[in-house]
Chains A and B, each alone.
Chain A
Amino acid sequence: MIVVDEYLAVRALLGVLPLDFPDEGLALPVSAHWRLLQRIHTSGTGQLSQVLALLPASDREVLRAPHPQVLEVLDPRPHLDEAAQIAAQYGGTGWLIAETITAGLHHGRELWYGNERNIGIRTREIAQELEITIHVVP
């Protein structure tokens, strides 16, 4: 199982991951799922919002409840205390970073992203300290 971000999660659901992408089950932290769903439901006047507003109900359902054989949304509860320790140790990282880092620790010490811009500075720093490798798939 490898931990992916919102970009690779959506690409997995579309069936358009690169051919050389690791042939393993994919896991999306629930905080990233929450952020993805927030974005889908947030209205706005920009081009992105207008395009997302056109997303058919069937596709929204796929994002809401991905087929677990394609993408598993991780249950954070078993490692919640560990995530809280990481958040505290690194000065209140928030749920997204703490959960993502914890998930990476428990799934091969790797995190996979589909866009360089989706990796924050603190995630990089903490991942480096905890010897978690970050991969970016173009």
Chain B
Amino acid sequence: MKVAVFVSTRHNRAVTRGQQLLEDFRRQRRAGDPRITPEGRAILLRITTGDLADDFAESLAALGNVDAMLSGGAGPDEGNCEPGVT
């Protein structure tokens, strides 16, 4: 009986520790990269969700259009190496 309790307790502790570790990993993942600076954050927010977001998409597409290996020589109506399809 004592052995059973010991195993159960040990098992529970292990799970708890594992869950805690997974939660720590999750939290770190969701927090982003700590090396980002406030200035960089402001710029990167503008290009991904702010006023420059559409310009960013078009500039990525334009890069694909001039890089044959990346785009496979896709013309302006092909692939995601061109302005999107909104």
Show the binding face of A for B, using Cβ within 8 Å. 6-7, 10-17, 23, 25-26, 31, 34-36, 38-39, 42, 46-48, 51-52, 54-56, 58-59, 61-62, 66-67, 69-71, 87, 92-98, 100, 114-124
Contacts and interface: CB of A to CB of B under 8 A. Distances in A.
Chain A interface helix/strand/loop/mixed: helix
A14 B78 contact: no
Contacts of A36: 60
Contacts, number: 188
14 contacts: A10-B48, A16-B32, A17-B30, A26-B29, A31-B70, A47-B55, A48-B55, A51-B47, A58-B36, A87-B72, A96-B80, A115-B53, A115-B56, A117-B86
Given A10-B47, A120-B79, A120-B80, A46 B55 contact: yes
A59 B37 contact: yes
B43 A7 contact: no
B44 A93 contact: no
B21 interface: no
B21 to A, nearest CB: 12
A100 to B, nearest CB: 8
